[in-house]
Amino acid sequence: MAAFDALAADYDVTFSETILGGVLRARVHERLAHGLPVGGRVLELNCGTGVDAVWLARRGHSVLATDVSPAMVAHAALAARRAGAAIEARIDTAVLALEDLSVLSGTERPFDAALSNFGGLNCVADVTAVLADLAALVRPGGRAWLCIMGPLVPWEWVWFAGRGDWSSARRRLRRNPRWRGLPLQYPTVRSVRRAARATGWAPVRVDGLAALVPPPFAESFAGRHPRLVAGLDRLERRLAHTAPVVWTADHYLIELVHR
Ligand SMILES: C[S@@+](CC[C@H](N)C(=O)[O-])C[C@H]1O[C@@H](n2cnc3c(N)ncnc32)[C@H](O)[C@@H]1O
């Protein structure tokens, strides 16, 4: 996965350690902290540089952190090592594509939960197939949190159109969207809910992330207006599960229970 391999070295500086990256990840962590069983075993999909794996391990969970990009997985393993021996002992890493999850069936005991954070699922053609494979890996009653980039983002239209960048403004509305040559899709909440129900999952909650809060591309705005961003974050937390926020968010976080 050359596109993501090339991104790995700078990923934390350009996303995880930014103001907006931090705001959005904190919102995901709040939902995880609320729903994860104590000391559970978590399958992390598209783990990137391992920020969530380390966070989960610090909370006492054991994690199998997977990603299609060998460079991302190498960074995740390094992050685990840097977090200290006790944390590293709770994190295993593996190069594994979302499309190949079925190779874990039979080799792994069931997981208590799964996490796909920040857009990995936008890179697969068939979300239903991934959810079906995941259902075979997570125990009944176990949960999955999927954080997916949404299709309609007014913040993005205004931000890029205001700069005369019409191509970026309508990038999610294209028939065959691509990023660095990689085909992407922006599934609606409704289509993911339908795919979940068809594969043995019950959707229990959806939160919009960055409908009012600026999305990560607007980091320069966040740097200039930290108090405004904090206020928008407070407001968005109250409205996160309402339809207008869910439908117009940069990402949405859908929580599923395996029936
Ligand atoms: C935006 S990053 C998110 C990384 C991490 N989850 C986080 O929260 O920072 C998207 C990740 O998805 C991974 N990815 C993309 N396509 C994938 C696929 N088909 N299978 C597994 N991982 C994939 C990329 O390598 C990248 O690490």
Annotated domain spans of the chain: 2-149+188-258
What is the position in ligand 1's atom list of the atom closest to the CA of 11?
9
> pLDDT tens digit string along 66-77?
999 999 999 999
Atom of ligand 1 nearest to the CA of 116: 6
pLDDT score recorded for residue 86: 98
77 CA to centre of ligand 1 in angstroms: 15
CB distance 130 to ligand 1 below 6 Å: no
Look at the block and give the residue holding tokens 């117009």.
248
> Does residue 108 have a pLDDT over 80?
no
Residue 107 CB contacts under 8 Å (≥ 6 apart), including other chains: none
The protein residue whose alpha carbon is closest to atom 13 in ligand 1 is 46
pLDDT category, 107, cuts 50, 70, 90? confident
- For residue 209, name the pLDDT band (cuts at 50, 70, 90): very high
Band of residue 1 on the pLDDT scale cut at 50, 70, 90: low
Among 25, 67, 179, 253, name the best residue to mutate to test ligand 1's pocket (greatest count of ligand atoms within 8 A of Cβ).
67
* Predicted confidence (pLDDT) per residue in 180-197, tens digit: 999 999 999 999 999 999
> For the whole model, what pTM was predicted?
0.97
CATH class of the domain defined by 2-149+188-258: alpha beta
> What is the token pair recorded at 113?
């939960």
Reading the block at residue 155, the tokens are 């913040």
In angstroms, what is the span from residue 45 Cα to ligand 1's centroid? 7
Is-contact 10 72, C-beta < 8 A? no
> For residue range 91-104, what is the model confidence (pLDDT) as tens digits?
999 999 999 999 99
For the Cβ of 196 lying below 6 angstroms from any atom of ligand 1, the answer is: no
pLDDT score for 194: 98
Closest atom of ligand 1 to CA, residue 25: 8
Q: Whose C-alpha lies nearest to ligand 1, atom 26?
A: 48
In this structure, the residue with its CA closest to atom 10 of ligand 1 is 120
Lowest mean pLDDT among 105-109, 145-149, 214-218: 105-109
Mean pLDDT of 107-131: 95
Using the mean position of ligand 1's atoms as its centre, give its distance from the Cα of residue 89 in Å.
23
Look at residue 14 and tell me whether its pLDDT is greater than 90.
yes
- Kindly report the number of other CB atoms within 10 A of residue 84's CB atom: 12
pLDDT at 17 over 90: yes
Q: Which residues, in sequence order, are CB contacts of 206 under 8 Å at separation 6+? A: 189, 193, 241, 246, 252, 253, 254, 255
Q: Indicate whether residue 115 lines ligand 1 (CB < 6 A).
A: no
What is the DSSP pairing of strand 178-179 with strand 251-258? unpaired
State in Å: Cα 120 to ligand 1 middle.
4
Is residue 145 in contact with ligand 1, taking CB distance under 6 Å?
Answer: no
DSSP state of 37: P
Does the structure show a pLDDT above 90 at 109? Answer: no
Q: What is the pLDDT of residue 106?
A: 81
Distance 227 CA to ligand 1 centre (A): 31
Whether residue 116 has its Cβ less than 6 Å from ligand 1: no
